[in-house]
Structures are given as C-alpha cells and as structure tokens.
C-alpha cells in the first residue's frame, strides 16, 4: 500500500523521495547497515581508530533496528486503518522530528561542553585526544540516526497511550496494536546495547535506561487500557 501524504514518518518520506530508489525493506535495512559499517571501518583504518569500531557498530545496529521498527510500525498502522486522527497525529505532526532535534542538541551540548568540564570526555575515549574531523562528522551522523529513531519510538509510545484513552477497537485490531506497542518496548531494549560504551557517563546511561523504563511503563498502561476498551468502538 503506497503511503499517503501525512501518513508517513519523515524518514519514510525522505527515502521515498529519492528518484529511482525502490528497495524492499530487507534490502534497505541491509544497505543501511553495510554502508555505515563500511564507512566506520574505512575511517578506523585510515586514522587507526579501531577501538571505536565496537561502539560504532553497536550504534549502527540500534539505528537499523529503529528503521525496521519504523517501517513495520507505519505499514501495520496503514494496513489496519485506525482512526485518521490517530494516524495524522502519529505521522503527520512530525513531532518525532522535533523531539529528536531537541535530544540531539542536548547530546551535543553534553558531549562537547558539559562532559569535558567533568574531567572526562566520551569523544576522547572513543576517538582520542585529537579526533579527526571526519571521525567527528561520522560520530554525529550516526548519533543523529540513533536519536531520531529513539524520538520516533517515544512519540509512537505516547500517541499509543492517547489512542488507548480515546478509542476502542475490535479484538483482532487490539491484538495487532498490542504487538506494535511491544515492538516499541523491544526497540527500547535494543538501545541498552549502547550502555557498555558510556558507562563512565551517568547522564547518558540514565538517558538510555530512563527511556527504556518510560517506554515500558507507558506501553504497559496502553495495553491495559486498550484491552479494557475492546469492542467499545470509536
């Protein structure tokens, strides 16, 4: 089913706007992983930054998992056709983009301003005391990829709670929506793969673990409310 304007993530809109690009989901995800991992390995080889490769690979895996979540989530929602108000709020508002920009700005401020003041630096730990400019660009690009998908995950979770408070569905649709809520929890869990690389930075650990906790709590409430509303209709 071709997505309609206002019923796609910003990520989907950008990908679909590339002329001549028509990849299956599997091919798109594989391409995303291979291209980014190849760039990471190339930069590591040129500048001898092999110690940063595990962290980079973990972040790429999280970003690819987020892409899979967004594609699966959006196409399932369009297939079951819940109320248009919910679909437009979820996709058309672009609030996931606004949340991501805010989180990215906070991350950059922490990493380049706050973190060095505390006597340590994540950038130095990963890329050395004099990191190459291209490595910084790659770090920020991959970080944005991850943060954008985390923003989408959180927005889908929040709108899911609103959906459960506002609408009731038949049993089959409710089961499908419950599986989508579980996907959000699973993706938030995948993000924990980045924790080992930021253990010396409590703020970043708290951000990742706190997001997981928030998604679990809100999704659990969503599932309970949605099941209670089975059969209630709109």
| DSSP secondary structure string for all residues of the chain | -PPPTTSS-HHHHHHHTSTT----HHHHHHHHHHHHHHHHHHHHHHHT-GGGHHHHHHHHHHHHHHHHHHHHHHHHHHHH---HHHHIIIIIT-HHHHHHHHHHHHHHHIIIIIHHHTT--HHHHHH-SS--HHHHHHHHHHHHHHHHHHHHHHHHHHHHHHHHHH----HHHHHHHHHHHHHHHHHHHHGGGGGGGSTT-HHHHHHHHHHHHHHHHHHHHHHHHHHHTTT---
pLDDT, tens digit, 9 for 90 and up, residues 133-178: 999 999 999 999 999 999 999 999 999 999 999 998 889 999 999 9
In a domain? residue 202: yes
In a domain? residue 1: no
In a domain? residue 151: yes
In a domain? residue 4: no
- Predicted pLDDT at 93: 82
pTM of the shown model: 0.89
In a domain? residue 124: no
What is the domain extent for residue 58? 10-105+133-228
In a domain? residue 25: yes
In a domain? residue 197: yes
In a domain? residue 118: no
| Number of domains forming the structure of the chain | 1
User: Which parts of the chain register pLDDT below 70?
Assistant: 1-7, 11-23, 118-119, 231-234
């Amino acid at each position: 089913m071709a997505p309609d304007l206002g019923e796609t993530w910003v990520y989907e809109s950008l990908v679909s706007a590339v002329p001549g690009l028509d990849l299956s989901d599997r091919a798109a995800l594989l391409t995303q992983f291979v291209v980014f991992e190849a760039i990471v390995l190339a930069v590591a080889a040129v500048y001898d930054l092999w110690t940063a490769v595990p962290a980079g690979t973990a972040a790429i895996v999280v970003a690819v998992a987020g892409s899979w979540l967004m594609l699966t989530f959006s196409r399932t929602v369009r297939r079951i056709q819940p109320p248009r108000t919910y679909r437009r709020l979820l996709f058309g508002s672009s609030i996931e983009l606004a949340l991501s920009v805010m989180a990215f700005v906070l991350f950059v401020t922490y990493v380049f301003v706050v973190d060095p003041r505390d006597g340590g630096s994540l950038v130095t730990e990963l890329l050395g005391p004099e990191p190459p400019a291209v490595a910084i660009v790659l770090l920020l690009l991959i970080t944005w990829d991850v943060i954008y998908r985390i923003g989408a995950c959180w927005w889908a979770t929040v709108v899911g709670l609103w959906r459960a408070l506002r609408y009731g569905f038949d049993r089959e649709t409710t089961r499908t929506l419950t599986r989508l809520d579980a996907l959000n929890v699973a993706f938030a869990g995948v993000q924990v793969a980045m924790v080992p690389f930021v253990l010396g930075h409590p703020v970043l650990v708290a951000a990742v673990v706190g997001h997981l906790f928030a998604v679990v709590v809100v999704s659990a409430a969503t599932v309970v409310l949605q099941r209670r509303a089975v059969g209630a209709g709109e």
